[in-house]
Structure 1
Amino acid sequence: MQSHQRQQFIDLTQSDPVTALVKIMQQLRDPHSGCPWDIGQTMQTIIPHTIEETYEVADAIYSGDPQHIKEELGDLLFQVVFYAQLGQEQGWFDFDDVAQGMCDKLIRRHPHVFTDQSELTAQQVEAQWDAIKQTEKAGLPIPTSILANIPTGMTPLMQAHKIQKACAKVGFDWSDIASVADKVKEELAEVQAAIASGDQAHVQEEIGDLLFAVVNLARHAGVKSEVALQQANRKFTTRFMQVE
């Protein structure tokens, strides 16, 4: 028991903040002297917390409060440290491996900064990034579809944007934004017809098609639909609270 007590009071003052955070996480997961809640978690069980913390970072940024942003970024960083600790316990990777992998990727995918020092436009950088990414995948199993690797855990708006962007890269896209706007009008008319029919399942399907078309319109306009909807939610909330 004494060894467990000593482990609880490791001096963290001599560590840099990141190393201290990693050590704290190790103590929280200690099977003898750690926190029962932290010990009981798995990568799967903390996914909802990670998603929640990500949204709280976004809210903090929108608030414009630097202290709040710093606090929420810390909460999100802790999620990364948590996953790294779980990976270390499995013998897969540790926090240093995660950080080193990110360093290597950023240097590898930014040769215009770290290698040849060439000047590129933002569009050229994006094209170069995609080309390097494809080179990295050489030798890996070929996906059955260009849509096979789109994360299913994304919000529906983000997933729709990813699907449309992937299809556009292989030429499956509208040629101009006016055509996309016409498609939105077409889908709206189909929603109205579905409502008139009284078939609720059909209404849901057509509203889904309408939302997909609106996301596509936003993409062609250079707007992230997720961000636009968040902005609209905040605007409505602010105005409603003023008259409530």
Structure 2
Amino acid sequence: MKPSAEALVASQTSERTLPQTARLLDIMQALRDPQTGCPWDLNQTMETLIPYTIEETYEVADAITRGGREEIKDELGDLLFQVVFYAQLAREQGDFSFDEVAGAIADKLVRRHPHVFGDGQADTPEAVLRQWEQIKQQERANKPDDHSVFSGVPVNLPALMQAQKIQKRCANVGFDWPDAEPVLAKIREEVAEVEDALSQTSVNAEAVEEEVGDLLFAVVNLARHCQVNPETALRKANQKFMRRFRAVEQTAQQQGVGVEALDLNALEVLWQSVKRTEKT
């Protein structure tokens, strides 16, 4: 017999974490005290916090990528503070509390894990994801306002992540290619359309933008079919490019010249040299 969610939580909760959670909530309340609180914290709203939350999320991702435990812990704390801040603002407005936020996500996790807390069956990560999406679809169907497959897709997600989420939603209702081969064909088609837009006697900037957008959307689709996260893949490509170009800069400096003084051919020679060095 599977243990209840409450039993699992009770058995795994460390007593030393609860006082620190309460302490953090008390500190947040003190920062927002109208008489003795911090002027900056008192001046914030949910809207003004959004840029900080996005920044902190990316800093967590960066810390995890670089793998420093202390830095990960520190950045997770910064991100947790954002959640606590939003909950405090909502509490002041009489909307909800931090405890209600925790309760809502606890309920959702139990509901979406019937293979752990109920009679469901999902023996592989892939089966879990399929079940998760099916439950989410049912939850969306139960909402009275929007029954579209795109209901709940955030409009302000990074474009690559949003494209991936859009495509997954369509795949869940059967609107998807069976494998990567037709996606590759679609990419070749989109590249040809970009080339055609650029070859016009009078290049239409909006048309080029549209075709490049279609190409990027198709590439995200390819990444999804290859089980590759496009955001992660592009971030790694960015890091690789910067690492290699830093090496180009260092090589040029060793030769007594700055990269800005070199022409494209000379820079390409250094670039290819760096790539060969990396591979060996």
Q: Same fold (TM over 0.5)?
A: yes
CA distance in 2, matches of 1:96, 1:41: 21
Question: Does residue 1:160 correspond to 2:163, yes or no?
Answer: yes
- 3-state secondary structure, aligned to 2:192: helix
> Which of 57, 60, 66 is the matching residue for 1:63?
66
Matched position secondary structure for 1:141: coil
C-alpha distance in 1 between matches for 2:97 and 2:89: 8
Once the two structures are superposed, what CA deviation does each residue of 1:196-219 show, in whole Å capped at 9, x if it has no partner? 222211111111111011001111
Query: Corresponding residue for 2:146?
Result: 143
Q: Distance in 2 between matches of 1:78 and 1:142?
A: 32
Residue 38 of structure 1 is matched in structure 2 by 41
| 2:210 alignment counterpart | 205
In the TM superposition, residue 117 of structure 1 has moved relative to its aligned partner by 7.6
Query: Which stretch of the first structure deviates more once superposed, 89-98 or 112-121?
Result: 112-121
C-alpha distance after superposition, 1:11-65 (max 9, x if no partner): xxxx811111111111111111111111111111101110000000001111111
Between 229-238 and 109-118, report the one with greater CA deviation: 109-118
**Structure 2: unaligned runs, 5 residues or longer:** 1-17, 250-280
Q: How many residues align?
A: 230
Q: Report the counterpart of residue 225 of structure 2 in structure 1.
A: 220
Identity rate, percent: 57
Q: Structure 1 residues 75 and 163 mapped into 2: Cα distance closer, same or farther (>3 Å)? A: same
- Cα deviations by residue, 1:125-170 (Å, 9 ceiling, x for unpaired): 2232233334444542152521232110100101111111111111
1:184 aligns to 2:187 (yes or no): yes
Corresponding residue for residue 3 of structure 1 = none
Q: Which amino acid aligns with 1:231?
A: K
Whether 1:114 and 2:111 are equivalent positions in the alignment is no
CA distance in structure 2 between the aligned counterparts of 1:26 and 1:228, rounded to whole angstroms: 40
Cross-structure match for 1:99: 102
Q: Which runs of 5+ in 1 are unaligned?
A: 1-14
Contact 2:30 2:36 in 1 (8 A): yes
Question: 8 Å contact 2:140–2:146 — kept in the other structure?
Answer: no
Amino acid at match of 1:240: F
1:54-86 deviation line (CA, Å, top 9, x unaligned): 000001111111111111111000000000101
Q: Aligned pair in 2 of structure 1 residues 186, 137: CA closer, same or farther (>3 Å)? A: closer
Candidates 85, 90, 95, aligned match of 2:93 = 90
Change (3 A) 1:237 1:75: same
Structure 1 residue identity aligned to 2:148: S
Answer yes or no: is 1:21 the counterpart of 2:24.
Answer: yes
Cα distance in 1 for partners of 2:246, 2:107 equals 48
Distance 1:236 1:26 in 2: 45
Q: Which amino acid aligns with 2:218?
A: A
1:169-210 deviations in whole A, cap 9, x for unaligned? 111112221100011011111111111222211111111111
Normalising to structure 2: TM-score of the pair? 0.78
Q: Which moved more, 1:151-160 or 1:117-126?
A: 117-126
Conservation of the 8 A alpha-carbon contact between 2:160 and 2:230: yes
d(CA) in 2 for partners of 1:159, 1:50: 18
Name the counterpart of 1:241: 246
